[in-house]
Structure 1
Amino acid sequence: MARIAAGLESAFARRGFAVPSVEDLRDAAGVSLRTLYKYAPSRDRMVRIALEHRHRRYLDHVFSDLPMGHEAALDALFERIGLWMERETSHGCLFHAAVAANPDDNELKALLERHKSEVAERAAGATGLSGRKIELMQVIEGLTQSWPLYRERATTGARHLGAALRRAEVPGPFDARTSSPSLT
């Protein structure tokens, strides 16, 4: 099953969600059509299998063995995301692309939300920015979405914004400095 999931993920990452035919997906998975349909009886299921596989790989790549210390973890986080973008998906986030390709699919939307929520929780915990989780996620999303245009400069920009968050120079929405209740 892991080989099928990896092949499907690779095919969708390279060619998008509309272009690959079932035969292309079968070839990418390296199995017969019968075997592919045994584990993924529909194209929708193939997309979900690919995204679940990607979710696990992304979390492992970004969060495994982060350095100790919040500042070092923050820098490593942005560097790893930049490296992921360079090696894995230079066109932007595959989860967002899946929802854009099928905007009425509530299961895909839920998968996107679960992925982003887990990334936000782990990133905030690793960097000591639990009170700035929304802002941290905005920086991460900005890095992911701007990578195709700016490449390494996007990573550098994210590191600068992350450092500003660490120094608390960037007031959060509705934080104590604005006299409004915090959302975090």
Structure 2
Amino acid sequence: MDTGTKIAAGLEEAFVIHGFAEPNVETLREAAGVSLRTLYKYTPSRDDMVLSALEYRHRRYMDHIFSDVPENGPVALGGIIDRIAGWMTQEAPQGCLFHAAVAAAPQDENLKELLSRHKTCVAERAAAVAGVEERSADILFIFEGLTQSWPLLGGASVESAHRLAKCLFIEANETLSSYA
């Protein structure tokens, strides 16, 4: 693992454990496992530290969700939903780290843009894999419902996401057959 990745991974872990407001620079430096000079070389400000951690998390999330997904419509989308549930169980039991970052700094336009880019990227990729590219907004809604309700509902949010995804395909098929 190169130094930049090591720093990003350590920062991600620190923000997951401590949130975005609590950890001081020494805590973040310790989590990154580098000297203060090296930390600031790679991430010159606290804002850069947050962005670096979230960019790293985005890459890990995309790998977790989309590695070896069967490219077969409803089966693919169901598999993605199950992988999101696995991520929530292991990596985000308290909810989405991207939303937490924006909540901690609601005026930060860079964080808002990163949140939007992350969520849009996930939804568009899932829609493409599932073969319903025109429904990426619906998929985004399903995924956001799953991740945002996870801390309250746990597995019940997964069941709801599966039901909504099924409705998406039923409606898509009805729309397609009405044009035939």
The answer on 1:36 being equivalent to 2:42 is: no
Unmatched 5+ stretches in structure 2: none
CA shift at 1:157, angstroms? 1.2
Contact preservation (8 Å) 2:71, 2:130: no
d(CA) in 2 for partners of 1:41 and 1:68?
Answer: 41
**Within 5 Å, which residues of 2 pair with 1:46-85?**
46-85=49-88
17, 20, 44: which is aligned to 1:17? Answer: 20
Distance 1:90 1:163 in 2: 25
Which residue of 93, 97, 107 corresponds with 2:96?
93
Shift of 1:150: 1.2
Distance in 2 separating the partners of 1:14 and 1:76: 28
CA displacement, residues 96-150 of structure 1 (integer Å, 9 cap, x when unaligned)? 1111111111111111111111111101101122222211110100000011111
Contact 1:146 1:154 survives alignment (8 Å): yes
Aligned residues of 2:102 and 2:111 also touching (Cα < 8 A): yes
CA distance, structure 2, for counterparts of residue 132 and residue 49 of structure 1:
30
Quick check: 1:143–1:154 contact (8 Å CA) kept in 2? yes
Choose the corresponding residue for 2:161, options 150, 155, 158: 158
CA distance in structure 1 between the aligned counterparts of 2:7 and 2:143, rounded to whole angstroms = 29
Contact 1:129 / 1:136 at 8 angstroms: preserved in 2? no
Runs of 4+ in 1 over 6 A off after TM superposition: none
CA distance in 1, matches of 2:30, 2:64: 26
- CA distance in structure 2 between the aligned counterparts of 1:94 and 1:19, rounded to whole angstroms: 14
Where does structure 1 lack aligned partners over 5 or more consecutive residues?
A: 178-184
2-structure distance, mates of 1:83, 1:5: 22
Task: Please report how far the alpha carbon of residue 68 of structure 1 lies from its aligned counterpart in structure 2 after TM superposition.
Answer: 2.9
- RMSD over aligned Cα atoms: 1.7
TM-score (normalizing by structure 1): 0.89
Q: Deviations over 1:30-79 (max 9, x none)?
A: 11111111111110000000010001111111011101311210111100
Does residue 111 of structure 2 align to residue 133 of structure 1?
Answer: no
Is contact 1:63-1:77 (8 Å) kept? Answer: yes
